[in-house]
Structure 1
Amino acid sequence: MVSLHQLHEENRFLLLKCISGSRAYGLHTPQSDTDYKGIFVSPKRVYYGLNPQEQINNETNDIVYYEWKKIVDLLGKNNPTVLELLATPEESVLYKHPLLHQLQVSDFLSKLCCQTFAGYAQSQVKKARGLKKKISNPMEPVRKEIPDFCYVIDGMYSIPLAQWLSDFRMSAADCGLVKIPHMRDAFALFHTSQLENGSLKGIYSGPDANDVSLSTIPIGIRPLALMSFNKDAYSIHCREYAQYWEWIGKRNETRYQSTVSHGKNYDAKNMMHTFRLLHMAEEIAREGVLHVKRQDRDFLMRIREGQFEYEDLLQQAEEKVQLIEELFEKSTLPDEPDLKKLEELLIDVRDAYYRN
């Protein structure tokens, strides 16, 4: 098996080794990390064996090497990561095998880039919206429980269950519910004081409950009240609560502080890369060329510094996507890369590497 040390420190089995990310784009700051990406060819016994390696990386994924077959597979799909790697500017290329010197990325660009670049940028906009929602609407440390989504009907109005129980000096544990037929999430509410014998199951079983509890009530007892439970809202709250606190636990604190420091409450770095992808897609549609090193650095860095309003950026992004779709429709690029040519490239490079 090929190890990360052999690739990154010894330069064995390599076709390509590059500095990637912000430094390759020309968008780095003095605080930016240095990321590395590359391409390797598996030794014959590994490639033909039972456990072929597609990718080798470190724990933080700032060093990643892809096996040659995976590179060609993704190239056939116009994957942005692979296209950018193969088009890395010379000053960021640390090693390039002679077998790759004749490979021209422009030979494999196609209309698929409309989806892979602009489509990915749209997904980043969606991600930015979600992050802004988390930042602007922080959640309390304690998750809400079922009674917080229950209301008692009072004539033409509704009263929060907690208020109703307080008014009548009752506890949720001493109450019981019976589902009302043909009515969604509607229940008749009873209290143990109405029973001659036995007890009720309470309105819910506890903080981890997914639904209200139902009790058995003797025939003839009239309910004290009618109650509704907004189960959909409760489910959404539980999901968003879990997502929010998972995000809190995993977020990059340095990047988060950078996000909130400019006061706009959106991930400025995320939005910068969104517009980088959109601009690259437009250049591909217009010129048939992939420019990794950005000439629009000033504009992109202004986004990163939070100099734009969030809604303005979203509007610009939506307009840019529409323009890109129109440009690709008129483009002379092929609908997809030449898969036969890619297959020949895959085989020829591997054969030549093994021979030498």
Structure 2
Amino acid sequence: MTIDDLKAQNLILFEVISGSRAFGLATETSDTDIKGVFYLPKDKFYGLEYIPQISNETNDIVYYELGRFVELLLKSNPNILEVLASAPDCILYQHPIMQQLTLDLFLSQQTKQTFAHYAMSQIKKAKGLNKKINNPIEVKRKTVLDFCYIIQGQHAYPLTNWLSEKRFEQHLCGLVNIPHSRDLYALFYDASGDCGYHGIIQNDDSTELCLSSVKVGTTVNAYLSFNRDSFSSHCRDYKAYWQWVEKRNEQRYQSNIKSGNDFDAKNMMHTIRLLQVAHEIMTKGTITNKCANRDELLAIKNGQLSYDEIMHISETLLSKIEIASITSMLPETPNFTKAIAQLVKMRELLYNH
């Protein structure tokens, strides 16, 4: 099913403007995000074609099946709670049946954890961007040779330097395992190539060392140690970095760089906003989507606050949330029994009308 199918068959129960426009944080370049709730035709719901979510290609427009919507509300999902709490001027359509799902069924002490967890994930993303911007990785991946060392006495020297000094070619080297040791090898060299050694690696894309057959009694030229753990870590970082480069929002990235930021300022703005919502839930037992401190939040988005300043704000808010939760009158968890009863009632009305 597609979004067009939902509209053509009148399956939409709830449709709202979400994101920056709902929070009062929209600027000239802001997109219009839409979220909503739908129900499946009876045959699909009772059959084998249950569909929990339908969205467009960019995920700017997302509709959740009624049961999935309630499930996420019961899990105190921050984004979904804010959809239910949409201000009247952001509600594009609301079926009367949706009035049976009220915010008080779902707000609980549980939101302290989910909002904080989500906020901390955004902080982690910002730290990850900080690391990627300040530690760019070259296009060409390092090879196994870059993580091999020659052992001489109490010291270890980079293999590449040693080969250069000796004027040795890696493909004329032969390696033999040292018994009862991890990634330690005896290295032999045959300048003539007559011994048929396989070299240290087959090519630059190799992820393992090559081993060779060496005649007993052949003189060992050196002992080689392969730092396998560091090589594996480099490969993971290399893959993650270039996947990030491929998928990053280039416009937002360039905006961050232009502002002198080595973190995603937009993500950090949403982090602070979410923590403010969590504090409002703990102190007032409700959610007001419209942000009263628009200028402060946009200042964060525009890079006017440093990373450390934003961290200080987030830590202060986390502390306030923790203190507020002690005296909060909210229940420990959402009202599962009543919420599920309401869901069943809504389904009965939808499928028996």
TM-score by length of 1: 0.94
Q: Is the 1:150–1:228 contact (alpha carbons within 8 Å) kept by the matching residues of 2?
A: yes
Report what 2:256 is aligned to.
Answer: 259
Q: Provide the rounded CA distance (Å) in 2 between the counterparts of 1:219 and 1:331.
A: 78
Moved more, 306-315 or 277-286: 306-315
State the Cα deviation string for residues 194-234 of structure 1 (Å, max 9, x = none): 99x53111111222222212222222223111221111111
Q: 1:219 and 2:212 equivalent?
A: no
CA shift at 1:145, angstroms?
0.4
Q: Provide the rounded CA distance (Å) in 1 between the counterparts of 2:30 and 2:191.
A: 67
Report what 2:336 is aligned to.
Answer: 339
CA shift at 1:102, angstroms?
4.5
Unaligned stretches of 5+ in structure 2? none
CA shift at 1:114, angstroms?
1.2
Q: Is the 1:194–1:221 contact (alpha carbons within 8 Å) kept by the matching residues of 2?
A: no
Q: Is the 2:12–2:37 contact (alpha carbons within 8 Å) kept by the matching residues of 1?
A: yes
CA shift at 1:184, angstroms?
2.8
Q: 1:43 and 2:41 equivalent?
A: yes
Q: Provide the rounded CA distance (Å) in 1 between the counterparts of 2:184 and 2:312.
A: 43
Q: Which amino acid aligns with 1:354?
A: Y
Unaligned stretches of 5+ in structure 1? none
**Pair 1:202–1:104, CA change in 2 (3 A):** same
Q: Aligned-pair RMSD on alpha carbons?
A: 1.8
Report what 2:234 is aligned to.
Answer: 237
Following superposition of structure 1 onto structure 2, how do residues 193-208 of structure 1 map, counting pairs within 5 Å? 193=191, 198-208=195-205
CA shift at 1:316, angstroms?
3.0
Q: Provide the rounded CA distance (Å) in 2 between the counterparts of 1:4 and 1:94.
A: 15
Q: Which amino acid aligns with 2:168?
A: M
CA shift at 1:324, angstroms?
2.0
Q: Provide the rounded CA distance (Å) in 2 between the counterparts of 1:53 and 1:264.
A: 41
Following superposition of structure 1 onto structure 2, how do residues 266-345 of structure 1 map, counting pairs within 5 Å? 266-345=263-342
Q: Is the 2:173–2:188 contact (alpha carbons within 8 Å) kept by the matching residues of 1?
A: yes
Q: Which amino acid aligns with 1:6?
A: D
Q: Is the 1:38–1:66 contact (alpha carbons within 8 Å) kept by the matching residues of 2?
A: yes
Q: Which amino acid aligns with 1:31?
A: T
CA shift at 1:344, angstroms?
0.9
Q: Is the 2:105–2:338 contact (alpha carbons within 8 Å) kept by the matching residues of 1?
A: no
Report what 2:25 is aligned to.
Answer: 27
CA shift at 1:97, angstroms?
0.9
Report what 1:107 is aligned to.
Answer: 105
Q: Provide the rounded CA distance (Å) in 2 between the counterparts of 1:235 and 1:3.
A: 43
Moved more, 324-333 or 260-269: 324-333
Q: Provide the rounded CA distance (Å) in 2 between the counterparts of 1:192 and 1:311.
A: 57
TM-score by length of 2: 0.95
Q: Which amino acid aligns with 1:53?
A: I
Q: Provide the rounded CA distance (Å) in 1 between the counterparts of 2:39 and 2:24.
A: 29
How many correspondences in the alignment? Answer: 353
Q: Provide the rounded CA distance (Å) in 2 between the counterparts of 1:95 and 1:25.
A: 18
Following superposition of structure 1 onto structure 2, how do residues 70-219 of structure 1 map, counting pairs within 5 Å? 70-193=68-191, 198-219=195-216
State the Cα deviation string for residues 294-323 of structure 1 (Å, max 9, x = none): 112121111101111112322432343243
**Pair 1:301–1:207, CA change in 2 (3 A):** same
CA shift at 1:112, angstroms?
1.1
CA shift at 1:156, angstroms?
3.4
Q: Provide the rounded CA distance (Å) in 2 between the counterparts of 1:284 and 1:111.
A: 9
Q: Provide the rounded CA distance (Å) in 2 between the counterparts of 1:323 and 1:189.
A: 62
CA shift at 1:193, angstroms?
4.2
Q: Is the 1:113–1:281 contact (alpha carbons within 8 Å) kept by the matching residues of 2?
A: yes
Q: Provide the rounded CA distance (Å) in 2 between the counterparts of 1:39 and 1:224.
A: 71
Moved more, 125-134 or 152-161: 152-161
Report what 2:5 is aligned to.
Answer: 6
Q: Which amino acid aligns with 2:253?
A: Y
Q: Which amino acid aligns with 1:215?
A: S
Q: Is the 2:100–2:342 contact (alpha carbons within 8 Å) kept by the matching residues of 1?
A: no
Secondary structure of the 2:323 match is helix
Secondary structure of the 1:29 match is coil
**Pair 1:98–1:131, CA change in 2 (3 A):** same
Moved more, 249-258 or 99-108: 99-108
Q: Provide the rounded CA distance (Å) in 2 between the counterparts of 1:131 and 1:78.
A: 27
Secondary structure of the 2:210 match is coil
Q: What percent identity do the matched residue pairs reach?
A: 46
